[in-house]
Structure 1
Amino acid sequence: MKMKKFIAILATVSMVAAMAAGCGSSSDDTSAEGDAATTEDGGESGSWDAANMITAVTREEGSGTRGAFTELFGVVDEEDNDMITLDAQTTNSTSVMMTTVSENEYAIGYISLGSLDESLVKAVKIDGVDATAENIENGTYKVSRPFNVAVKPDLDNPVATDFMAFIMSTEGQQVVADEGYIPVAEVEAYAGEAPEGSCVVGGSSSVTPLMEKLIEAYEAVNPNAKIELQTSDSTTGMTSTIEGSYDIGMASRELKDEEAAELTGTVIATDGIAVIVNQNNPTDDLSSDQVKNIYLGDVTTWDAI
């Protein structure tokens, strides 16, 4: 009888010990699974893994920046049709483009160089050349395009006419230079008449930041004028000027033949297109062909660069 009690007690102790060991093992397994998950997620927070998919970010159709980008990098077919991959994520403004890339470590995008905010994103070299106004001016950075404004040949708004004269004056082109763009050479001092009234300027979101500064400078010398600025895209800028909704249209590209047939265009500055990546992306230099292949959809991961 005593022997049976001893065996029962011994069995109970063994069960308790097994349960304790099982609990310890479960805890260890959970820890191991956590370690494995951490490894699969790329280790420490903020690490960058080149095996990840590239998120190509583009501008909307009608954007002058998109048109200039596809032309300059050759992301077009034999008939110059836009061939940007349908997998690309579309944004509708320069600011949204920068925000999108700043929030995605594996994204790549493109913006007006003059709008670049290096606290948000990083501009990569193209073919070994830094994207700077100086390099655009000396011809080593090839990815550049004109900023155009356009009016009807029979423009009869005195404020719009005077504002155009200010933009193309020494004072106006100094604003262009101060904002990091390439100014137009051989201009003269502003000698306007400061007319009273208003006008509407609209179009490209890439030209908008520069135009805001030009309007601010003009209204300082002509407090009698009020200029309304509407931001859309280059194509809308031109069509709305033709239709009469805008007195002055903005385009971050060359005017198309059909636009030039109805409008008088004026280059007010030269701007570069900066190819941007997330600040955590270690990529510092891309060739023109690499950018092209990303946007054609032929290269889809960063380790294929």
Structure 2
Amino acid sequence: MKKIVILALSFVLVASLLAGCKSNNQGGENVNTDNNKNGFDTSNEIVVVTREEGSGTRGAFVELTGVEEKDGSGKKVDRTTKEAITQMKTDTVLTTVAGNEYAIGYVSTGSLNDTVKALNVDGIAPTTENIKNGSYKIARPFNIATKGELSEVAKDFIDFIMSKEGQEVVSKSYIAVDDNAAPYSGSKPSGKIVIAGSSSVTPVMEKLREAYLAINPNAQIEVQQSDSSAGMQAAIDGTADIGMASRALKDSEKAELKDVAIALDGIAIITHPANTLTDISLENVKNVFIGELINWSDIK
């Protein structure tokens, strides 16, 4: 009888231990290995998310990170990996990265939200102070561009953008280019302005539009979102009074347009919040986006 009881107790004990192991290991997954810290498995492939060609954010990003290089003939070549997922707007980049634990992408620092995590680059966080003092290297200007003589209302709106009131609007999301701008003292003319271009510049332009119309209700302002290249072409063609670009103008654009920086902005490298990586070198940013680093464990 004692032997039966002992055997029964032994069976219960072994079964309990086996059940506990299965519960902790989820059917054999490597929960406690070095490759799987806090549930993030660094052996997984990196899912690269980029913007479309023509995007000012992409143009600035590939230039600043070295993803774009000159070939043997001196022509600039964007070497972004063909495996990258291409998104047409800032918000879809955010949504894609937020929805994939192993994704990496880039967006304007002014567009960051808590659905993603911004990485430090070479130990430097993409903060306003670091962008302004130049220590965060992936940064660019927000430009507007015009062609020829401006209408009275277009000139007045640009004067507002560069005024104390306009730069205060800019500084709520981005970095003002003039901290000592004079107060707005325009004539508040009537008329219509069409503004077209970068999806990165569009949000701050909408806020500038709203603030200006509160001062000058005689004006009408239409903001058309596309990308930087399309915005510059619209200004050249005359289909827009003002073009928006989230990059420096190309030489061919500068030959036909007059441009001015209205704000400064950083480009943040973003991952899913569950990603255990907090810092990445500028060299590794390039190597990820050209497809030389494949798995998260490759980033040292």
State the TM bucket, normalised to the shorter chain: 0.7 to 0.9
SS at match of 1:39: coil
Which residue in the other structure is 2:125 paired with? 130
User: Could you tell me whether the CA contact under 8 Å between 1:137 and 1:182 is conserved in 2?
Assistant: no
1:5-44 CA distances to partner (integer Å, 9 max, x unpaired)? xxxxxxxxxxxxxxxxxxxxxxxxxxx9999874349699
Query: C-alpha separation between the residues in 2 aligned to 1:95 and 1:105?
Result: 17
Query: C-alpha separation between the residues in 2 aligned to 1:134 and 1:165?
Result: 26
Query: C-alpha separation between the residues in 1 aligned to 2:135 and 2:226?
Result: 31
User: Could you tell me whether the CA contact under 8 Å between 2:163 and 2:184 is conserved in 1?
Assistant: yes
Query: C-alpha separation between the residues in 1 aligned to 2:142 and 2:103?
Result: 26
SS at match of 2:297: helix
* Match status 1:75 vs 2:67: yes
Map 1:52-63; keep pairs closer than 5 Å.
52-63=44-55
* Match status 1:160 vs 2:149: no
C-alpha displacement of 1:147: 0.4
User: Could you tell me whether the CA contact under 8 Å between 2:65 and 2:282 is conserved in 1?
Assistant: yes
Query: C-alpha separation between the residues in 2 aligned to 1:40 and 1:48?
Result: 12
User: Could you tell me whether the CA contact under 8 Å between 2:174 and 2:263 is conserved in 1?
Assistant: no
1:168-212 CA distances to partner (integer Å, 9 max, x unpaired)? 111101111122324334421111111112111110001111111
C-alpha displacement of 1:76: 1.7
Query: C-alpha separation between the residues in 2 aligned to 1:122 and 1:116?
Result: 8
* Backbone CA RMSD of aligned residues: 2.2
* Match status 1:147 vs 2:142: yes
Distance verdict in 2 for CA 1:42–1:56, change over 3 Å = farther
User: Could you tell me whether the CA contact under 8 Å between 1:125 and 1:284 is conserved in 2?
Assistant: yes
Which residue in the other structure is 1:101 paired with? 97
Distance verdict in 2 for CA 1:273–1:193, change over 3 Å = same
Higher mean alpha-carbon deviation, 200-209 vs 34-43, is at: 34-43
* Match status 1:121 vs 2:116: yes
Which residue in the other structure is 2:224 paired with? 230
Which residue in the other structure is 1:16 paired with? none
Query: C-alpha separation between the residues in 1 aligned to 2:77 and 2:31?
Result: 39
Query: C-alpha separation between the residues in 2 aligned to 1:238 and 1:226?
Result: 21
Query: C-alpha separation between the residues in 2 aligned to 1:177 and 1:270?
Result: 9
Larger radius of gyration: 1
User: Could you tell me whether the CA contact under 8 Å between 2:174 and 2:264 is conserved in 1?
Assistant: no
TM-score, L = length of structure 1: 0.85
Distance verdict in 2 for CA 1:120–1:215, change over 3 Å = same
User: Could you tell me whether the CA contact under 8 Å between 2:25 and 2:31 is conserved in 1?
Assistant: no
Unmatched runs of 5 consecutive residues or more in structure 2:
1-20
Query: C-alpha separation between the residues in 2 aligned to 1:288 and 1:35?
Result: 38
* AA aligned opposite 1:54: I
Which residue in the other structure is 1:110 paired with? 106
**Pairs aligned (count):** 274
C-alpha displacement of 1:160: 1.4
Query: C-alpha separation between the residues in 2 aligned to 1:37 and 1:91?
Result: 35
Map 1:39-58; keep pairs closer than 5 Å.
39-40=28-29, 47-58=39-50
C-alpha displacement of 1:138: 1.7
TM-score, L = length of structure 2: 0.86
C-alpha displacement of 1:263: 0.8
* AA aligned opposite 1:241: A
C-alpha displacement of 1:159: 1.8
User: Could you tell me whether the CA contact under 8 Å between 2:168 and 2:176 is conserved in 1?
Assistant: no
User: Could you tell me whether the CA contact under 8 Å between 1:174 and 1:183 is conserved in 2?
Assistant: no
